[in-house]
Amino acid sequence: MDILPQVQDALTYMASVKATHIENKLLASRASYEELAPLAGEEEAVFAVENKVIALNGRAINIRIYRPGDKKALPALIFFHGGGFFKGSLDSHDRPLRQLANLSGVVIISVDYRLAPEYPFPNGLNDCVEATVWIMQHAATLDIDKQRIAVAGDSAGGTLATIVAGKLKQLVCQVLIYPLTSYTFDTPSWQAFAEGPVLTLKKGIELWEYYTEDRSKAAPICNDDLSGMPDTFIITAEYDPLRDEGMAYAEKLRHANVQVTEKLYPKMIHGFVQMGGVIDQGKEALTDIAAYIRYKLLPVHGNSFRHSAGVS
């Protein structure tokens, strides 16, 4: 591997964040993950940020709404954070989502779904599906355009996003950022990067153990009926063990006649899109995502997306 200096800076920062004061391994991992937020850069100002609690079948779910301006009935992107299904929060992804709202000009809505192992599959997924339905049903109250809604997520959040997209056919598109799509760990990228950087084989096995025993139902690549999926943008990273399963899922979507846009970021690591404060390609990826969102949800702005983003 040719580790770029900026990537090494990010890895060095990650290695310095250890919640050694917390004895519980799970809680320590969650706390350490939250401490990685500064890698995304400074907290950008957004026109309006609103925290809201929504009621879903007897339980309360937190969402955070980022409004880039005062225009009425803007399109919306519903975002599900990464963290291996067992960590992550509204705060862990706050900075890149602020940036994405400003870059894209659409409303970003982040969903704080329940985490494994306390709430294993399908609890978190149900939160994501039902929160998306709730947002669609309350589009007028939220002042968003019901006809122009998309979903997105990074890593495990990408897994959740694409399953939501398969259940709710009225979505315009989905953005999957190095998604976790399989559980077999048998691809060349898993073999090449079993020891990381960032995501290791040991961590991959652990997150599936936390999440579910019924892995074939939870892994998107096991879905043999991808017909009706919305247009899709898939981001992968060269030095990521999830690289090959993300590409395999892109190919499976194409076989189902789904319009897929795909971009591999060379020499990048898992999680780099959250590291735009340190890694230039993280900023580039957010810019590409924003361009794709505008292309699909605000088409008047999107004529040059493919050329400018360098995607396939």
What pLDDT is attached to residue 309? 59
Does residue 304 form part of some domain?
no
**pLDDT at residue 173 greater than cutoff 60:** yes
Q: Answer whether residue 128 is part of any domain.
A: yes
240 is catalytic: yes
Instruction: Write the pLDDT tens digit of every residue in 32-49.
Output: 999 999 999 999 999 999
Question: Alpha carbon of 303 to those of 274, 292, 300, 307: distances in Å?
Answer: 27, 10, 7, 9
- Percent of the chain with pLDDT strictly greater than 90: 93
Q: Residue 67 above 90 pLDDT? A: yes
Q: Which domain holds residue 12?
A: 5-296
Q: Is the pLDDT of residue 18 over 60?
A: yes
Is 311 part of any domain? no
Mean pLDDT across the stretch 213-221? 95
Average pLDDT, integer, range 283-289: 98
Residue 67 lies in a domain: yes
288 catalytic residue (yes or no): no
Confidence category of residue 302, pLDDT binned at 50, 70, 90: very low
In a domain, 302, yes or no: no
Domain count for the chain, please give it: 1
What is the chain's mean pLDDT, rounded?
A: 95
pLDDT at 181: 98
The pLDDT of residue 299: 75
Tell me the average pLDDT across 153-169: 97
Among residues 127, 145, 154, 240, the one annotated as catalytic is: 240
Q: Which one is catalytic: 155, 189, 231, 288?
A: 155
Give the per-residue pLDDT at 21: 87
> Rounded to an integer, what distance in angstroms lies between the CA atom of residue 113 and that of residue 100?
20
**What's the whole-model pTM score?**
0.96
Per-residue pLDDT tens digits for 87-139: 999 999 999 999 999 999 999 999 999 999 999 999 999 999 999 999 999 99
Q: Is residue 303 part of a domain?
A: no
Q: Please report whether residue 261 resides in a domain.
A: yes
Is the pLDDT at 236 greater than 70? The verdict is: yes
pLDDT over 90 at 280, yes or no: yes
- Residue 157, domain CATH: 3.40.50.1820
- Domain annotation covers residue 143: yes
Q: Span 11-26, mean pLDDT? A: 91
Q: Is 155 marked active-site? A: yes
Which of the residues 104, 231, 270, 288 is marked catalytic?
Answer: 270
